[in-house]
Amino acid sequence: MSDYQIALAGNPNSGKTSTFNSLTGSNQYVGNWPGVTVERKEGRLKTDATVTIQDLPGIYSLSPYTPEEVVARDYLLHGQPHAILNVVDATNLERNLYLTTQLMEMGIPVVIGLNMMDIVAKQGKKINLEKLAYSMGTPVVGMSALKKRGLQEAINETIHVAKQFPVEADYPTYDARLETALNEIVDVLGQTVLEKQSRWYAVKLFERDTQAQQELNLSVIQKKEIEEIICITEKIFKDDSETILINERYEFISRVIHLCAIEKDEIRLSFS
Ligand code: GDP
Ligand code: K
Ligand code: MG
């Protein structure tokens, strides 16, 4: 029997499978996700057989546009993993953290496994992991799946947060006017969704995500109230709701990256 389910999530080529193979060794099961030709890889942690790891397909976003996004989203929303180890390519922080902001909204604790730190080191760059963790609101562990470094620390940290489950997972906060709208949608949803998933559904409904609309079976009044909230916010921002959220995510990320990029003479906390 498996006590803890950990999901490995991240962009394509961020190093998920390399991480998965190192952590699980030959304790792997490979198949397909039901109904789609997307590969499913599940394995037991080599150092602790009570921990199951899911190697989710690589994705850039959790908008259900591709079969990979649908599989990852369904598993994270309905498969009940205890924690997510988000494998992030440290050489491509802006694009990778875009997914991280979405993972953090799902009500599941997230640990960032900051991968490719060997390349960052080779490039003579430094990232302040402590400031990255602080500004993102998640634990961060530096690693190199290629050199097999930091992997055990990353999975240990993920198991640690999994064991604290259920916790109130932290998520990025955006412009106050957007936050007002999202909180109003949370209020309209009330008991319609699990409390821990209310942020996720508020964001998705704000984006007019049809998958979320179909999943929730909202009343006519709820739909009308939510549409009013969205329209008012679009007028305030003079933009459509999906663009508002994309912009806010990138503004959040640019603040994070600005904070954690280390100046030349401030070399501390680098990966070693
Ligand atoms: P996935 O698509 O997220 O499953 O990524 P993979 O594990 O398949 O890795 C994609 C490529 O990046 C492969 O060629 C790996 O060998 C390479 N790679 C993965 N992790 C690292 C790392 O930490 N450092 C370096 N230099 N290469 C890595
Ligand atoms: K790959
Ligand atoms: Mg892979």
What is the rounded distance in angstroms from the CA atom of residue 58 to the CA atom of residue 17? 10
Are 65 and 57 in contact by the 8 Å Cβ rule? The answer is no
Nearest atom in ligand 1 to the alpha carbon of residue 144 is 23
What is the tens place of the pLDDT at every residue in 20-53?
999 998 777 887 877 777 888 899 999 999 999 9
Protein residues within 5 Å, CB atom, of ion ligand 3: 16-17
Q: Is 113 in the pocket of ligand 1 (CB under 6 A)?
A: no
What is the tens place of the pLDDT at every residue in 204-233?
999 999 999 999 989 999 999 999 999 999
Per-residue pLDDT, 35: 73
Per-residue pLDDT, 39: 81
**DSSP 8-state code for residue 56:** P
Are 117 and 23 in contact by the 8 Å Cβ rule? The answer is no
Predicted structure pTM score: 0.93
Burial pattern 233-265, b for ≥16 Cβ within 10 A else e, equals: bbeebeeebeebbeebbeebbeebeeebebeee
Q: How much is the ipTM here?
A: 0.97
The confidence band for 169, taking pLDDT boundaries of 50, 70 and 90, is confident
Are 99 and 10 in contact by the 8 Å Cβ rule? The answer is yes
The confidence band for 272, taking pLDDT boundaries of 50, 70 and 90, is very low
What is the tens place of the pLDDT at every residue in 83-110?
999 999 999 999 999 999 999 999 999 9
89 CA to middle of ligand 1, Å? 9
Per-residue pLDDT, 166: 65
Mutate to test the pocket of ligand 1, among 8, 13, 22, 95 (most ligand atoms within 8 A of CB): 13
169 CA to middle of ligand 2, Å? 29
Higher pLDDT, 220 or 165: 220
Q: Is 14 in the pocket of ligand 1 (CB under 6 A)?
A: yes
What is the tens place of the pLDDT at every residue in 258-270?
999 875 545 454 5
Q: Is 10 in the pocket of ligand 1 (CB under 6 A)?
A: yes
CA-angle at 83, arms to 82 and 84, nearest 5°: 145
Per-residue pLDDT, 111: 97
Q: Is 57 in the pocket of ligand 1 (CB under 6 A)?
A: no
Which of 56-70, 154-168, 220-234 bottoms out in mean pLDDT, i.e. has the lowest? 154-168
How do beta strands 28-32 and 4-10 pair? Answer: unpaired
pLDDT > 90 in the chain, percent: 81
